Structure 1
């Protein structure tokens, strides 16, 4: 079972496992319709957020195909949890992973999601030794697409009308990055001040 060396400290964030104390912070953005608009779940009630948090607490390490590592991104200095990141182990044999992220919109536009997601890629490539990490998003979710582009991930595919989502057919974008691309990217360098 692989578990990252927590806490992971960046210039503005602390990445760590979720705890029961994170319920209010997580519910603050999991309950917003604008956050869940392109996700596979609707805005959550407090009870639904609690159930999701319990699942996240249980996702503390990666060992087998299908496992998910849930990571909380909190503002440094004891600030609130503003991000919910996931690294999925899709295939140990083929060393494939998938990244996912959800952030509080009150903290958008400051590069915090990029700062946190970069560390999830680092966990996958440097910690777990993955060969490829991909991320998917609805084509209308331009914020997620731009985030993956800022991370240095390349657009690999646009699946046209791939899913019937929220009452309409939608396109899906697939971004990817290989370990050699990660090693050659500026993102692979240690974060200054961390």
Structure 2
């Protein structure tokens, strides 16, 4: 089983026991603000849990969709992922339960996984795409040293309206200069 540790967190492969907490996290109204209603169905998160468990067994591994566990409580508090793509690039994302937000835990988890991607996997560029109104996600990306590379107007349609998206990224050379290692 894959595992990374930080001062306060354990990042590990998701397992089927994480399903209930993952589903519960996805049902919070604030969590659902930037997702289409169909993307927030409990059954979708049950299916995603099974997918993430299966992806951890793939060889070569292309997706590190990890459960984030609090060392203090031993509880599942969110997910963080790094999906490998061609040309030494990877996309990154995360989702955390509302109860722990604002404590720097998402930054701690994302930083550990980005560092793993650059130092252990040899990734050259990590990027994230999010809805432009998702200020918390943008703030997280910028705290990792990512810079906005693009903005796509009217890029996603859900909740009865069009949403702009932004892409933020960081290169391995910038990561080294940013002092992340």
Distance 1:96 1:164 in 2: 27
Does residue 153 of structure 2 align to residue 160 of structure 1? yes
* Equivalent residue for 2:79, pick from 81, 84, 87: 84
**Other-structure match for 1:72:** 67
**Other-structure match for 2:115:** 122
Gaps of 5+ in 2: none
Native 8 Å contact 2:149 2:168 kept in 1 = yes
SS in structure 2 opposite 1:169?
Answer: strand
Could you tell me how far 1:187 is from its partner in structure 2? 2.1
Native 8 Å contact 2:94 2:110 kept in 1 = yes
Cα separation, partners in 2 of 1:48 and 1:165, compared to 1, 3 Å: closer
* Corresponding pairs, count: 179
TM-score, normalised relative to structure 2: 0.90
TM-score, normalised relative to structure 1: 0.85
Could you tell me how far 1:62 is from its partner in structure 2? 6.7
Runs of 4+ in structure 1 over 6 Å off? none
Distance 1:39 1:186 in 2: 33
**Other-structure match for 2:29:** 33
* Equivalent residue for 1:17, pick from 6, 13, 16: 13
Distance 1:136 1:174 in 2: 4
**Other-structure match for 2:49:** 53
Native 8 Å contact 1:62 1:68 kept in 2 = no
Gaps of 5+ in 1: 189-194
Does residue 104 of structure 2 align to residue 111 of structure 1? yes
